[in-house]
Protein backbone atom coordinates (compact mmCIF):
# COMPACT_ATOMS: atom_id res chain seq x y z
CA UNK A 1 0.00 0.00 0.00
CA UNK A 2 2.83 2.40 0.81
CA UNK A 3 4.50 1.72 -2.52
CA UNK A 4 1.29 2.51 -4.37
CA UNK A 5 0.77 5.67 -2.34
CA UNK A 6 4.37 6.72 -3.05
CA UNK A 7 3.83 6.29 -6.76
CA UNK A 8 0.60 8.20 -6.53
CA UNK A 9 2.30 10.90 -4.50
CA UNK A 10 5.12 11.13 -6.98
CA UNK A 11 2.81 11.03 -9.95
CA UNK A 12 0.48 13.31 -8.15
CA UNK A 13 3.17 15.92 -7.96
CA UNK A 14 2.44 16.08 -11.65
CA UNK A 15 0.68 19.20 -10.54
CA UNK A 16 -1.66 19.68 -13.52
CA UNK A 17 -1.02 19.97 -17.23
CA UNK A 18 -3.57 22.58 -18.19
CA UNK A 19 -6.26 24.59 -16.56
CA UNK A 20 -9.65 25.57 -17.86
CA UNK A 21 -10.88 26.73 -14.46
CA UNK A 22 -8.84 29.56 -12.97
CA UNK A 23 -8.63 30.03 -9.25
CA UNK A 24 -9.56 33.47 -8.05
CA UNK A 25 -9.51 35.79 -5.09
CA UNK A 26 -12.68 37.17 -3.53
CA UNK A 27 -12.55 40.05 -6.02
CA UNK A 28 -12.65 37.58 -8.92
CA UNK A 29 -9.06 38.00 -10.09
CA UNK A 30 -5.89 36.16 -9.13
CA UNK A 31 -2.89 38.05 -7.85
CA UNK A 32 0.31 37.93 -9.91
CA UNK A 33 1.87 35.67 -7.26
CA UNK A 34 -1.06 33.22 -7.44
CA UNK A 35 -0.81 33.15 -11.25
CA UNK A 36 2.92 32.47 -11.03
CA UNK A 37 2.31 29.64 -8.55
CA UNK A 38 -0.33 28.09 -10.79
CA UNK A 39 1.99 28.33 -13.80
CA UNK A 40 4.72 26.54 -11.83
CA UNK A 41 2.21 23.88 -10.75
CA UNK A 42 1.28 23.28 -14.41
CA UNK A 43 4.94 23.18 -15.53
CA UNK A 44 5.59 20.18 -13.29
CA UNK A 45 2.48 18.46 -14.67
CA UNK A 46 3.76 18.92 -18.20
CA UNK A 47 7.08 17.39 -17.13
CA UNK A 48 5.30 14.22 -15.96
CA UNK A 49 3.44 13.93 -19.24
CA UNK A 50 6.41 14.68 -21.50
CA UNK A 51 9.34 13.43 -19.42
CA UNK A 52 11.11 16.78 -20.00
CA UNK A 53 12.67 17.87 -16.68
CA UNK A 54 14.50 20.89 -18.12
CA UNK A 55 12.11 23.40 -16.50
CA UNK A 56 11.97 21.82 -13.03
CA UNK A 57 14.81 23.90 -11.54
CA UNK A 58 13.03 27.10 -12.58
CA UNK A 59 9.76 26.21 -10.81
CA UNK A 60 10.85 23.98 -7.88
CA UNK A 61 13.11 25.36 -5.15
CA UNK A 62 16.47 23.70 -4.50
CA UNK A 63 15.35 22.97 -0.91
CA UNK A 64 11.98 21.52 -2.04
CA UNK A 65 10.48 18.85 0.24
CA UNK A 66 8.00 16.26 -1.02
CA UNK A 67 6.34 14.68 2.02
CA UNK A 68 5.80 11.02 1.07
CA UNK A 69 5.04 7.82 2.99
CA UNK A 70 8.66 6.80 2.30
CA UNK A 71 9.89 9.97 3.97
CA UNK A 72 10.77 13.41 2.77
CA UNK A 73 12.18 13.63 -0.77
CA UNK A 74 13.91 16.50 -2.57
CA UNK A 75 14.02 18.11 -6.00
CA UNK A 76 16.46 15.55 -7.42
CA UNK A 77 14.10 12.76 -6.33
CA UNK A 78 11.26 14.56 -8.11
CA UNK A 79 13.26 14.71 -11.33
CA UNK A 80 14.21 11.03 -11.03
CA UNK A 81 10.56 10.10 -10.46
CA UNK A 82 9.44 12.07 -13.51
CA UNK A 83 12.06 10.30 -15.64
CA UNK A 84 11.15 6.85 -14.26
CA UNK A 85 7.42 7.45 -14.66
CA UNK A 86 7.80 8.52 -18.27
CA UNK A 87 9.98 5.52 -19.12
CA UNK A 88 7.50 3.17 -17.39
CA UNK A 89 4.40 4.27 -19.30
CA UNK A 90 1.99 7.08 -20.04
CA UNK A 91 -0.02 9.38 -17.80
CA UNK A 92 -2.62 12.07 -18.33
CA UNK A 93 -3.89 14.45 -15.67
CA UNK A 94 -7.46 15.73 -15.54
CA UNK A 95 -8.21 18.73 -13.35
CA UNK A 96 -11.38 18.33 -11.34
CA UNK A 97 -10.86 21.58 -9.41
CA UNK A 98 -7.94 23.80 -8.42
CA UNK A 99 -7.44 26.75 -6.12
CA UNK A 100 -4.47 29.10 -5.96
CA UNK A 101 -3.34 31.98 -3.79
CA UNK A 102 -0.05 33.69 -2.99
CA UNK A 103 1.18 30.74 -0.89
CA UNK A 104 -0.57 27.54 -2.03
CA UNK A 105 -1.99 25.67 -5.00
CA UNK A 106 -4.44 22.88 -4.28
CA UNK A 107 -5.81 20.59 -6.93
CA UNK A 108 -8.28 17.73 -7.07
CA UNK A 109 -6.89 15.54 -9.83
CA UNK A 110 -7.57 12.37 -11.77
CA UNK A 111 -4.68 10.45 -13.32
CA UNK A 112 -5.13 7.89 -16.06
CA UNK A 113 -2.59 5.98 -18.07
CA UNK A 114 -0.83 2.71 -18.58
CA UNK A 115 2.30 1.29 -17.02
CA UNK A 116 4.28 -0.88 -19.42
CA UNK A 117 6.20 -2.40 -16.51
CA UNK A 118 5.46 -2.66 -12.78
CA UNK A 119 6.60 0.44 -10.86
CA UNK A 120 6.84 1.04 -7.12
CA UNK A 121 4.42 -1.75 -6.32
CA UNK A 122 1.88 -0.93 -9.02
CA UNK A 123 1.28 -3.70 -11.56
CA UNK A 124 1.77 -3.15 -15.27
CA UNK A 125 -1.40 -2.16 -17.08
CA UNK A 126 -3.93 0.64 -17.02
CA UNK A 127 -4.52 2.84 -13.99
CA UNK A 128 -7.21 5.35 -13.05
CA UNK A 129 -6.93 7.17 -9.73
CA UNK A 130 -7.84 10.45 -8.07
CA UNK A 131 -6.31 12.51 -5.31
CA UNK A 132 -5.73 15.95 -3.87
CA UNK A 133 -2.39 17.75 -4.24
CA UNK A 134 -1.28 20.58 -1.97
CA UNK A 135 1.82 22.58 -2.86
CA UNK A 136 3.28 25.45 -0.86
CA UNK A 137 5.12 28.15 -2.79
CA UNK A 138 7.64 30.82 -1.94
CA UNK A 139 8.79 33.39 -4.49
CA UNK A 140 7.02 31.52 -7.30
CA UNK A 141 8.75 28.19 -6.66
CA UNK A 142 7.35 25.03 -5.08
CA UNK A 143 8.90 24.46 -1.65
CA UNK A 144 6.67 21.72 -0.18
CA UNK A 145 4.26 19.11 -1.52
CA UNK A 146 1.67 16.78 0.01
CA UNK A 147 -0.59 14.26 -1.77
CA UNK A 148 -3.77 12.67 -0.45
CA UNK A 149 -5.68 9.79 -2.01
CA UNK A 150 -9.07 8.32 -1.22
CA UNK A 151 -8.58 5.15 0.84
CA UNK A 152 -11.29 3.29 -1.11
CA UNK A 153 -9.45 3.98 -4.37
CA UNK A 154 -6.19 2.75 -2.88
CA UNK A 155 -7.87 -0.47 -1.78
CA UNK A 156 -9.34 -0.90 -5.28
CA UNK A 157 -5.85 -0.46 -6.78
CA UNK A 158 -4.37 -2.91 -4.29
CA UNK A 159 -6.98 -5.56 -5.08
CA UNK A 160 -5.77 -5.54 -8.69
CA UNK A 161 -2.21 -6.25 -7.58
CA UNK A 162 -0.93 -9.82 -7.62
CA UNK A 163 -1.04 -11.28 -4.13
CA UNK A 164 2.27 -12.34 -2.58
CA UNK A 165 2.40 -15.83 -1.21
CA UNK A 166 3.03 -16.22 2.47
CA UNK A 167 4.53 -19.37 3.97
CA UNK A 168 1.03 -20.53 4.97
CA UNK A 169 -0.34 -20.12 1.42
CA UNK A 170 2.72 -21.13 -0.58
CA UNK A 171 2.45 -24.38 -2.52
CA UNK A 172 5.45 -26.68 -1.99
CA UNK A 173 7.29 -27.53 -5.17
CA UNK A 174 7.79 -31.12 -6.26
CA UNK A 175 11.38 -30.94 -5.03
CA UNK A 176 10.38 -29.68 -1.59
CA UNK A 177 10.78 -32.53 0.95
CA UNK A 178 8.66 -31.54 3.93
Q: Is the pLDDT of residue 158 over 70?
A: no
Q: Is 173 a member of any domain?
A: no
Q: Is 117 a member of any domain?
A: yes
pLDDT, residue 96, reads: 93
**pTM for this entry:** 0.73
Long-range Cβ pairs for the range 46-49 (8 Å, 24+): 46/17, 47/14, 47/82, 48/11, 48/13, 48/14, 48/15, 48/17, 48/82, 48/85, 48/86, 48/91, 48/93, 49/14, 49/17, 49/91, 49/92, 49/93
Range of the domain at 107: 2-159
Q: Is the pLDDT of residue 23 over 60?
A: no
Q: Is 172 a member of any domain?
A: no
Q: Is 132 a member of any domain?
A: yes
Sign of CA dihedral 113, 109, 29, 36: negative
CATH, residue 52: 3.10.450.50
Q: Is 170 a member of any domain?
A: no
Q: Is 169 a member of any domain?
A: no
Amino acid sequence: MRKIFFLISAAAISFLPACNEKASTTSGEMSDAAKKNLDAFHAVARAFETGDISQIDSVVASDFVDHTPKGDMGRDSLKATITRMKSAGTMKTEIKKELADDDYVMGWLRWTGTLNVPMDGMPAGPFDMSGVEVVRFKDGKAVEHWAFMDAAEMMKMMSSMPQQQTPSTATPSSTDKR
